[in-house]
Structure 1
């Protein structure tokens, strides 16, 4: 069994907590606390880590061809880890839509599955699914000449983003397309392939350029040549994201002894389930606590999604692990 990277799990915990803050605090408040430099980096962090973790897995298994990656095991693993938890939340949302909100439009209810369901951040689900398909192709392309292909793919991803803006792709469609996060996946794969060669000092200049880009977009209303609704979440900003991950991976020392350390690791492992739970919470529960203020308000919108998300994760593990073990025994 592969040993988990505690620094990565802790970073994922911080990222999912940041996602909750994004949906719990107003934009005005987020700007005042300089959220673009850390809290609003949450989804880019997840995307870079998706590329990194997948590439690490391919390297460990010596998978050098698409036919060796796209196996039934790979596909079923993604179904178990992504589709099953999401489908549970989606079914609950559809029931509430139909019964409580009296939404009887069956076609729209079914279509919502492919749009990530309901609630803030629902776009992330279809983007994750696209990433699981695209990452193996990116890995094969980058495997032999990582840095050269990373540079080329930067311009390719930027070109695709610019073209989508020029062609005025509908915002509701662009929202669920991976276009703006494509280069984040590329950087994650590049980091995995060149991990021993990539140093913090080597990323300072590109990360500084990303920092300037983030600042210009958020605080000086710089529009540039790409879609503007998603602010700086485009290719030029992701070297800054990679620097955050590199620093955390190299210098974040995490133990497993204290309750806080154990909790942070658990939250990191359950980050996807917490993400799904916070979507549901902010969609139909949060309004009941909107009259709260101050610390109590923050405590409420943080605690409820995290606690329920952890329980959801534990139930999922309890239900799927025995089934997976039986399937593994049958395949031997």
Structure 2
């Protein structure tokens, strides 16, 4: 089984939604029913991460836990995630120091790196690292019994939400902990084993839909972290339903120009995410960019999407080209040494 292009298309929609989410103010977002679509971008992306990685594990027929945590596999995962992030982080560090003259201490520099740098969504970098390294455990759990894994992740996620709320966990800590997303990741793992719609989940989807509506439109204040009141265990059946719907409607082909563009955006989604993080962060040190916020929301959204996609895709291909050349050079050197 080859690459599932439908996942690339959904990842493309998710990353465009992230850009829209950071373009609109809350009132406008609510007016376009954003809580039901663009606000679900990160849960959708994490579900797709679980689905995609488990599909990869299944294709390779990997069931050995030692393999998942071998030095070679750890290095591959770290390289894929940390090389593009480090490039972005160094750029941000340079801009911050050169524009403000602020001298950063070594401890401060180290903390900014492990916290994902600066900009909206920076928490996602340490979060996705936790997800990628934790997924093999969920995968092996699901290999034994997918439903038990799903119930287990729900209980863990539910218990974490209650603990975070009643212990007054600061948002600065809460946002980095992947346990707040473990159920939606579990749904992605479950989907890899059970791709068809589970009718029992209709109840969960209805509850999630009612919950999201109550939080955003009727002032409901549940016992959850207030900054993420509609992105938690109670709401996750809704993004699951969105993905199921998308997979059922999209075709696993890329014959048209539009499909090829969306495929490219999906492939470059991580680099686009890093790009939008820097782009929106740049509104702070460069006041001239704030002029864009004077534009109507739709015009602003178009500009933001266009610029973030162009620079993000360029970033993806440049990194791919550079490290492809480095790989070729290292292979040539190793051949010369061997001969």
Taking structure 2 as the reference length, what is the TM-score of the superposition?
A: 0.91
Which residue of the partner structure matches residue 264 of structure 1? 262
Structure 1: tracts of 5 or more residues without a match: none
Which residue of the partner structure matches residue 240 of structure 1? 238
Q: Deviations over 1:209-245 (max 9, x none)?
A: 1111111222222222222211211112111111111
Shift of 1:255: 3.7
User: Is 1:104 the counterpart of 2:103 in the alignment?
Assistant: yes
Which residue of the partner structure matches residue 320 of structure 1? 323
Task: Select the residue among 219, 237, 241 that pairs with 2:217.
Answer: 219
Structure 2: tracts of 5 or more residues without a match: 284-288
Q: Deviations over 1:41-89 (max 9, x none)?
A: 1000011111111111222222223112223332222122210000000
Shift of 1:258: 2.3
Aligned-partner Cα distance in 2 for 1:315–1:227 = 39
Shift of 1:4: 1.8
Shift of 1:16: 0.4
Aligned-partner Cα distance in 1 for 2:330–2:62 = 23
Which residue of the partner structure matches residue 308 of structure 2? 305
- 8 Å CA contact 1:146–1:193 kept in 2: the answer is yes
Structure 1 residues 116 and 9: CA distance shift in structure 2, 3 A: same
Shift of 1:326: 6.9
Aligned-partner Cα distance in 2 for 1:222–1:294 = 27
Q: Relative to structure 2, which stretch is displaced further, 230-239 or 263-272?
A: 230-239
Which residue of the partner structure matches residue 286 of structure 2? none
RMSD across aligned positions (CA):
2.1
Which residue of the partner structure matches residue 39 of structure 2? 40
Which residue of the partner structure matches residue 13 of structure 1? 12
Q: How does 1:53-64 map to 2 (within 5 A)?
A: 53-64=52-63
Which residue of the partner structure matches residue 122 of structure 1? 122
- 8 Å CA contact 2:9–2:266 kept in 1: the answer is yes
Q: How does 1:275-314 map to 2 (within 5 A)?
A: 275-285=273-283, 286-293=289-296, 295-314=298-317
Structure 1 residues 51 and 325: CA distance shift in structure 2, 3 A: farther
Q: Relative to structure 2, which stretch is displaced further, 316-325 or 211-220?
A: 316-325
Which residue of the partner structure matches residue 162 of structure 2? 162
Taking structure 1 as the reference length, what is the TM-score of the superposition?
A: 0.92
Aligned-partner Cα distance in 2 for 1:292–1:88 = 31
Which residue of the partner structure matches residue 172 of structure 2? 172
Shift of 1:175: 1.5
Q: Deviations over 1:157-205 (max 9, x none)?
A: 210221122111221111211122111111111111222xx32645322
Structure 1 residues 26 and 173: CA distance shift in structure 2, 3 A: same
Aligned-partner Cα distance in 1 for 2:151–2:330 = 42
Aligned-partner Cα distance in 2 for 1:326–1:92 = 26
Shift of 1:271: 0.4
Q: Relative to structure 2, which stretch is displaced further, 15-24 or 216-225?
A: 216-225
Q: Relative to structure 2, which stretch is displaced further, 150-159 or 81-90?
A: 150-159
Q: Deviations over 1:94-140 (max 9, x none)?
A: 01111102221323233111111001111111100111121111222
Structure 1 residues 128 and 151: CA distance shift in structure 2, 3 A: same
- 8 Å CA contact 1:200–1:246 kept in 2: the answer is no
Q: Relative to structure 2, which stretch is displaced further, 251-260 or 182-191?
A: 251-260
Aligned-partner Cα distance in 2 for 1:229–1:296 = 27
Structure 1 residues 65 and 326: CA distance shift in structure 2, 3 A: farther
